Chain A
Amino acid sequence: MTAKISYDDVEVGTELPGQSFGVTRATLVQYAGASGDFNPIHWNEKFAKEVGLPDVIAHGMFTMAEAIRVVTDWAGDPGAVVEYGVRFTKPVVVPNDDEGATIEVGGKVAAKLDDGTVRVDLVAMSAGRKVLGMSRAVVRLA
């Protein structure tokens, strides 16, 4: 694996370029097919409301997968991600319109570890709410 960022070039507090990811109902249907997660709360509004949700919500794993792109695009090599964990704190609510929802992700280096890796803490927001908690990745840099 060959990250394009050098360990020596980052410091605690180094910010990663933030990104924003759009998600519509069509995105969720495509993700359901690709991931095999066909839970109707991710595509069936009637069902979602019956189980107490405000509307259809994105797969937590979709949000998790998009958030790490801030790290993989920065590091250059997705295989440099050694560890990645999140807590699903709030759902990403996806209305049935052309705009859908947006997930805004930022990250910064929170610690430099001894073995050539760094810990990146991510923040993922949608509609002004934090949708992931404890969102942390350990990345092996060059």
Chain B
Amino acid sequence: MALDQSFAGRSYPPTDPYEVGREKIREFAEALGDPNPVYTDPEAAKALGYSDVIAPPTFVFSITFKAAGQVFRDPQLGLDYSRVVHGDQKFVHRRPVRAGDRLTVTSTIESIKSMAGNDILDIRGEVHDGTGEHVVTAWTKLVSRAAEGA
């Protein structure tokens, strides 16, 4: 069933702050097998001009995707999440995420399209730190594949 187009443009309230921890960044970098010390060693980060360790460029997805859940799990939207695949992903950083950040995400449905029975949802997540400074924006395209025989 096609999604309600009137949801396009809808914004959701900012999430509660997510506090970025050094050890969470370390865990993420280790899962990637990435030994770059700027992710784990505050001194290495300071040598590059950062106040604390920074996170890999895609780290923030865990936070923005969780925030996007309030959009695609909105029962009024009626998306069949079991049929959803991740189509595209993009980040635009004003600065890297770093340990100690308290990040909130404001999610907006940028567009809803139906093509060949697939529902295509574009969600934008604006990420701000505890001082209100913009840190990064994440765009996530989700595709809900048409049910077989539909």
Contact = CB atoms under 8 A, between A and B. Distances in A.
B41 interface: no
A7 interface: no
A96 interface: no
A85 B62 contact: no
Contact of A36 (B36, B62, B85, B89): B62
Interface string B2-20: 0000000000000000000
Given A64-B89, A78-B54, A69 B34 contact: yes
A1 B93 CA distance: 13
Interface stretch (B23-31, B102-110, B117-125, B126-134): B23-31
B77 interface: no
A81 B38 CA distance: 14
Listed residue (A30, A77, A78, A83) with the most chain B CB atoms within 10 angstroms of its CB: A78
Contact of B57 (A33, A73, A78): A78
B32 interface: yes
Contact of A61 (B27, B61, B85): B61
A16 B34 CA distance: 17
Given A35-B61, A60-B86, A82 B93 contact: yes
Contacts of B30: 30, 34
A34 B49 contact: no
Contacts of B87: 87-88
B89 A83 contact: no
Given A33-B27, A78-B96, 15 more contacts: A1-B50, A34-B31, A37-B65, A61-B86, A61-B89, A68-B56, A72-B36, A79-B96, A82-B92, A83-B91, A84-B90, A84-B91, A87-B87, A88-B88, A134-B88
